[in-house]
Chain A
Amino acid sequence: MQYPEPIAKLIESYMKLPGIGNKTATRLAFYTIDMQQDDVTDFAKALVAAQRDLHYCSICGNITEEDPCLICRDKQRDQSTVLVVETPKDIMTLERMHEYHGLYHVLHGVLSPIEGKGPKDINIASLLKRLQNDAIKEVIIATNATPEGEATATYLSRLIKPAGIKVTRLAHGLSVGSDIEYADEMTLMKAVEGRQEM
């Protein structure tokens, strides 16, 4: 027997989300049918609003309701450093630390030919443009410690350094408060490589 069309469509929609297969989508769809009507309406509105009301900041690529974003408009922030991240989510994480007061730039991915992402497919051109006009003295690269994240960092530094701008990379190593005993061998290895003189 086939599912009635409304539920089949709902299953199909859930399956478009990352990491959700047929089984989970079916479970979610049947759960949705049994939800309070108000909750379902709010849910649907939130989905539509998230796309309609959010834009990418034309300067840094962060998600924002207004363009430019709050961070780019904040003149109190240190205008001489730009921290480069892979996703807008990384900005949220870094902002929670309340320690970094400079600007950001979101690449929206990393260089990965396998996924069809070359230098023109991620947000690099607008970064280079920013570096021409602004008073930027340092670029901090905070891409992940994957091979692709490392290649992207190296690529950026080769483009930026000749312009006389300082390029730095976030350090990798042990997380604070974590026990050496529970760190995996590669984290330890990176931590040893990146050790600092005291």
Chain B
Amino acid sequence: MYLEQLQLTNYRNYQHLDVDFSPGVNVLLGANAQGKTNLLEAIYVLALTKSHRTHNEKDFINWQATFAKISGTVQKSSGRVPLELLIGKKGKSAKINHLEQAKLSQYVGQLNVILFAPEDLSLVKGAPAVRRRFIDMEFGQMSPRYLYNVSQYKQVLRQRNQYLKQLKYRQADDQTFLGVLSDQLAQYGSAIITQRLDFLTKLEGWAQTLHQDISKGKEKLTFDYVQHLKGQATLKQALQVDTAHEIELGTTLVGPHRDDVRFLVNGKNVQTFGSQGQQRTTALAVKLAEIDLMKAQTGEYPILLLDDVLSELDDARQTHLLKALQHKVQTFLTTTSLSGVAKTMIEAPRVFQIQGGHLKRRTKVNG
């Protein structure tokens, strides 16, 4: 799929924008604080109704305005789909093909995006929460069922944690009800874990090939999903064995909200034993593998958003990145200056100069 057109009204520093994109590589060129990331964010929000940068949706609205609107047309193998997202002070509403959708969860999935920002290079290095967020965001786009299970799980988890606190302070004493909450949590939690394992196995396959390529066949990347089941065979059992401790702490100690993924290179954990370069190669391979996974799951290639990543990668890794995406996925990349590998490798890029929330198409890459 690709984004053919984009219109913005009062989105951040864009008062009004109407632009046609190339199905290939679009380069967004501009000095700092001119609106490059804002434009990528707008595309991301049009796809997911959420931002990677903020939880506060009022931030999207231009400071001088009371609402923001993002609309665009997506070309898919099944045809053209117009999308529209309206963000007001009180909430959002979304339209597919001019029809308002009752639920935002029904809207998500029309446009699939993968965002790659410098922070993503810390996918390997960072805390487990970073990897869980990555998994939930990406798998949620591919599977409404995953999205549903995650939102149910979160709600039950809040209830169970609250009930554990009430048991702790003796505001409650009903063990049967705790058992009900534990089983309900285990039910959604196991569904999430099953789906994660399935997606991760597929992702691992593609990441392995890419990683082998980038490391010139010297290294083998494998994934390891880590659960802490307190010596039990299932989550359901693990939620039963340690309730005294959980009550004492007032919080749930096992479940997908505590799980993690380990990336191993030649059997060694890259997070602890890998060099900086190995960590970056792994992050790059995992991110790029998502493109193929999404194609396999949804039947369409997603759109790739690259925010300032080229400057973070060395020439060899830039080359691999560009090779993996050219002629395959529509790409938007932001940069303050196009040079080096990117300038020589990208074929027929459409270059836009961004200044203060205005876009100008450039016919020449230089000058």
| Beta-carbon contact of B159 and A118 below 8 Å | no
A148-B177 CB under 8 A given contacts A118-B166, A184-B106, A186-B144? no
CA of A16 to CA of B106, assembled, Å: 33
CB pair A112 B105 closer than 8 Å? no
Q: Is B329 an interface residue (CB 8 A)?
A: no
B241 within 8 A of A: no
Identify the 8 closest CB pairs spanning chains A and B, nearest first.
A113-B162, A113-B163, A185-B144, A155-B180, A147-B155, A154-B180, A118-B172, A119-B174
B319 to chain A, nearest CB (A): 40
How far, in angstroms, from A158 to B177 measured CA to CA in the complex? 9
State whether the Cβ of A111 lies closer than 8 Å to any Cβ in chain B. yes
Counting contact residues on chain A (CB < 8 A from B), the size range is 10 to 19
Interface: B57 (CB within 8 A):
no
- Does A159 touch B at the CB level, under 8 Å? yes
In the bound complex, what is the Cα–Cα distance between A112 and B159 (angstroms)?
7
Decide if B156 touches A147 in the complex (CB within 8 Å). yes
CA distance A148 to B157 in the complex (A): 11
- Among B103, B155, B160, B181, point to the contact of A184 (Cβ < 8 A): B103
A176 within 8 A of B: no
Set of chain A residues within 8 Å of B183, measured between Cβ atoms: 154
Interface size (B, Cβ < 8 Å)?
A: 26
Give complex CA distance A36, B172 in Å. Answer: 51
Known: A151-B180, A155-B177. A185 touches B163 (CB 8 A): no
Q: Which of B103, B152, B176, B184 is in CB contact (< 8 Å) with A159?
A: B176
Name the B residues within 8 Å of A148 (CB-CB): 155, 159
Of B159, B166, B176, B179, which contacts A147 at CB under 8 A? B159
Interface residues of B in 201-238 (CB under 8 A from A): none
Besides A148-B155, A151-B184, 8 other A-B contacts (C-beta < 8 A): A112-B159, A118-B174, A147-B155, A148-B159, A154-B183, A158-B179, A184-B103, A184-B106
A188: nearest residue on chain B (CB-CB)? B144
The verdict on A47 contacting chain B, using a C-beta distance below 8 Å, is no
Residues of A within 8 A of B166 (CB): 113, 118
Q: CA of A151 to CA of B102 in the docked complex: distance in angstroms?
A: 26
Contact indicator A151/B156 (Cβ below 8 Å): yes
